[in-house]
Amino acid sequence: MGSQEVLGQAARLATSGLLLQVLFRLMTFVLNAFILRFLSKEIVGIVNVRLTLLYSTTVFLAREAFRKACLSGGAQRDWSQTLNLLWLTVPLGVFWSLFLGWVWLKLLEVPDPDVVPHYGTGVVLFGLSAVVELLGEPFWVLAQAHMFIRLKVIAESLSVILRSVLIALLVLWLPHLGLYIFSLAQLFYTAVLVLCYVFYFTKLLSSPESIRQQTLPVSRITDLLPSVTGSRAFVNWKEAKLTWSFFKQSFLKQILTEGERYVMTFFNILNFGDQGVYDIVNNLGSLVARLIFQPVEESFYLFFAKVLEREKDATLQKQEDIAVAAAVLESLLKLALLAGLTITVFGFAYSHLALDIYGGTMLSSGSGPVLLRSYCLYVLLLAINGVTECFTFAAMSKEEVDRYNFMMLALSSSFLVLSYLLTRWCGSVGFILANCFNMGIRITQSLCFIHHYYLGSPHKPLAGLHLTPTLFGVFALAGGITGISEVFLCCDRGWPARLAHIAVGVFCLGVTLGTAFLTETKLIHFLRTQLGVSRLTGKMT
């Protein structure tokens, strides 16, 4: 498969993932606003911070390294060995589920059963749901490797929709069930997700014609199960060693990604109610960022992993592939920079209004607006880091991954300490400031790698981080105008003034986007040819 075709498929996957994330986040957005009116913020804090952290940690530690290693291989591989390796995520998930469940029940502070009942049941069911989701890991990796875009969209959309509907109905009819509602819904979500993949492959493999068309490496559904033969090793040891390298990295990355939740969970800096408010503001702040950046990062990591060969620098690889990868990286960096700046500039002036509309005075009073404004700055760094790391992790050799792990270890330790100290000093805003420091270091590390990687080639993908003076001036002017508008029109002057403030923001946003359209012609061409139309050819023109 050529680099141009892989690029087209990655672009389609990113576009579909973008639509999927819009669905996910909008439903979560509406659901949180709904449940705040029926459940206490303590229950929201336990579910969204404590139990979700248990689930995400179990799943991440059990599968993240396997995904990266098994998606990095080329077309010529023994898929039976790869599938055997992927099935090891299940016993690993059982181990992490039991160990972390014991920690959550025995070592952490247990909430008051009168305020948050059924906590123990919630821990058990969230841990079980993580193990259930891991049962579908071989199916997921096989689908990703063969670019089954529609399967991912349908499976995850259906699972999220059914979970959201179940939560809404139970909260409306049986709010006294408390944690039972979210625990059963989480288990239901993972079961539906896995069954979608199983049913799809069962139906697909029952048709010999489909097998020829998709060129799948398996012919029966039982081929996806673990298999042992005496003629070859159970797993590909090269993939296994790469998995171990990624596992060490993933463990540290998980600490950095969920650092504030670990600090809240293990050090009890914030009570459960404040944790709930922080998580709601955090979800609101990351809404637009994750809608755009997460599907792009996941899809184009797959693109870079397929196009670039590990163990080789840019001068030793196919120059056509290197040129395409550089052009894509430059465009993605520019897209991340512009999206992040837009969120930062306009988020500063509209944070208070957004929180007031979403959750009332419970969110808009106190530190809520300051927290959301700080998060808008963090979004800019998050956007750039997602793009730079998706390229870096796809291009690094095993030895470079191991060296990077040492840096991540030091960064993890400093991040946790800094989070604790800053939170003691300035409350929940300290979490955002520590995250900004963390992202700044990670971005610097990735930029150094990319610069060195392309040093001997004529390509300069880091040019994507440069803005024209005209566009920079428009961003600065928009930030000033909307800031003044907030002072005089928002947010305690009634809805006519609020609507005028919104109108000012819409006008400034239109001018900013129009300027970007006229000045960033290379990015616009990339979006049109790869991400912006429904019929993608997968060719860069």
Q: CA nearest 386: which of 375, 376, 394, 396?
A: 394
Check whether residue 69 and residue 182 sit in a common domain.
yes
427, 459, 491: which is the final residue of a domain? 459
Domain assignment of residue 412, given as a range: 258-459
Which is more confidently placed, 39 or 170? 170
310 shares a domain with 367: yes
Query: For residues 379 and 289, is the Cβ–Cβ distance under 8 A?
Result: yes
Q: Does 387 have pLDDT greater than 70?
A: yes
Which of 426, 459, 492 is the C-terminal boundary of a domain? 459
Q: Is 211 exposed, middle or buried (0-12, 13-18, 19+ CB in 10 A)?
A: middle
Q: What is the pLDDT of residue 230?
A: 64
Domain's final residue, options 176, 209, 244 = 244
Is residue 211 very low, low, confident or very high in pLDDT (cuts 50, 70, 90)? low
Q: Are residues 283 and 231 in the same domain?
A: no
Q: Is the pLDDT of residue 2 over 80?
A: no
**pTM reported for the whole predicted model:** 0.71
Integer angstrom CA distances of residue 18 from 288, 300, 305, 378, 447? 11, 13, 20, 20, 25
The owner of tokens 């002036």 is: 349
pLDDT band at 538 (very low <50, low <70, confident <90, very high): very low
Q: Establish if 85 belongs to a structural domain.
A: yes
Residue 298 and residue 17 in contact, taking contact as beta carbons nearer than 8 Å: yes
When mean pLDDT is compared over 256-270, 281-295, 324-338, 423-437, the highest value belongs to 324-338
pLDDT tens for 119-171 read 999 999 999 999 999 999 999 998 888 878 778 878 888 898 888 889 888 98
Question: Looking at the domain assignment, is residue 34 inside a domain?
Answer: no
For residue 48, count CB atoms less than 10 angstroms from its CB and return exposed for 0-12, middle for 13-18, buried for 19 or more.
buried
Is 493 within the bounds of a domain? no
**Are 125 and 183 within 8 A, CB to CB?**
yes
Instruction: Note whether residue 250 is domain-resident.
Output: no
The size of the chain, in residues, is: 541
Question: Which string of DSSP letters, residue by residue, matches 248-301?
Answer: HHHHHHHHHHTHHHHHHHHH--S-HHHHHHHHHHHHHHTHHHHHHHHHHHHHHH
Flag whether pLDDT at 78 surpasses 60.
Answer: yes
Task: Give residue 344's pLDDT band: very low, low, confident or very high (50, 70, 90).
Answer: very high
* Among 77-86, 90-99, 254-263, 415-424, the least confident range: 254-263
375 and 429 together in one domain: yes
**175: buried, middle or exposed (CB in 10 Å: 19+, 13-18, 0-12)?**
middle
Whether 301 is covered by a domain: the verdict is: yes
Closest CA to 205 of 228, 222, 227: 222
In this prediction, residues 504-531 reach a mean pLDDT of 90
**What angle is formed at CA 56 by the lines to CA 53 and CA 59, rounded to 5 degrees?**
145
Domain total of the chain = 2
Residues 266 and 212 in one domain: no
The lowest-confidence range among 77-81, 180-184, 502-506 is 77-81
By CB neighbour count within 10 A (0-12 exposed, 13-18 middle, 19+ buried), where does 317 fall?
middle
Answer for the pair 512, 474: CB distance below 8 angstroms, yes or no.
yes
The overall longest dimension of the chain from CA atoms, in Å, is: 77
Positive or negative: CA dihedral 273, 275, 277, 280: negative
In the DSSP assignment, the letter for residue 130 is H
Instruction: Say if residue 54 is in the same domain as residue 164.
Output: yes
Residues 294-304: what's their mean pLDDT? 78
Q: Write the single-letter amino acid at 330.
A: E
My answer on whether 230 and 143 are in the same domain is yes
Q: pLDDT-derived band of residue 14, with 50, 70 and 90 as boundaries?
A: low
SS3 letters for 451-503?
HHHCCCCCCCHHHHHCCCHHHHHHHHHHHHHHHHHHHHHCCCCCHHHHHHHHH
Give yes or no: residues 271 and 231 share one domain. no
483/8: higher pLDDT: 483
pLDDT at 392 over 80: yes
DSSP assignments along 141-203, one per residue: HHHHHTT-HHHHHHHHHHHHHHHHHHHHHHHHH-GGGTHHHHHHHHHHHHHHHHHHHHHHHHH
Beta-carbon-side half-sphere exposure of residue 111 (alpha carbons within 13 Å): 29
Same domain, 292 and 434: yes
Rounded to whole angstroms, the Cα distance separating 44 from 30 reads: 14
Q: What pLDDT is recorded for position 314?
A: 73
Radius of gyration for the alpha carbons in the chain, expressed in angstroms and rounded = 24
Residue 16 lies in a domain: no
3-class DSSP assignment, residue 118: coil
Amino acid at position 30, single letter: V
Lowest pLDDT segment from 52-61, 355-364, 467-476, 477-486: 355-364
Write out the two tokens for 190: 């993972």
429 within some domain? yes
Start-end of H helices in 314-428: 319-359, 361-364, 368-395, 398-426
Residues 365 and 420 in one domain: yes
- The CA dihedral of 64, 67, 72, 73, to the nearest 10 degrees, is 140
What number is the average pLDDT over the span 391-416?
81
pLDDT band, very low/low/confident/very high, at 465 (cuts 50, 70, 90): very high
Assigned domain for 534 exists: no
Which pLDDT score, from 0 to 100, does residue 57 have?
93
Residue with tokens 């797993």: 235
Same domain, 349 and 228: no
Q: How far is CA 431 from CA 407, 424, 435, in A?
A: 21, 10, 6
Q: In this predicted model, what pLDDT tens digit does every residue of 40-72 receive, in sequence order?
A: 778 888 998 999 999 999 999 999 889 888 887
Residue-wise burial string across 119-150, b where 16 or more C-beta atoms lie within 10 A, e elsewhere: beebbebbbbbbbbbbbbbbbbbbbbbebbbe
> Do 73 and 209 lie in a common domain?
yes
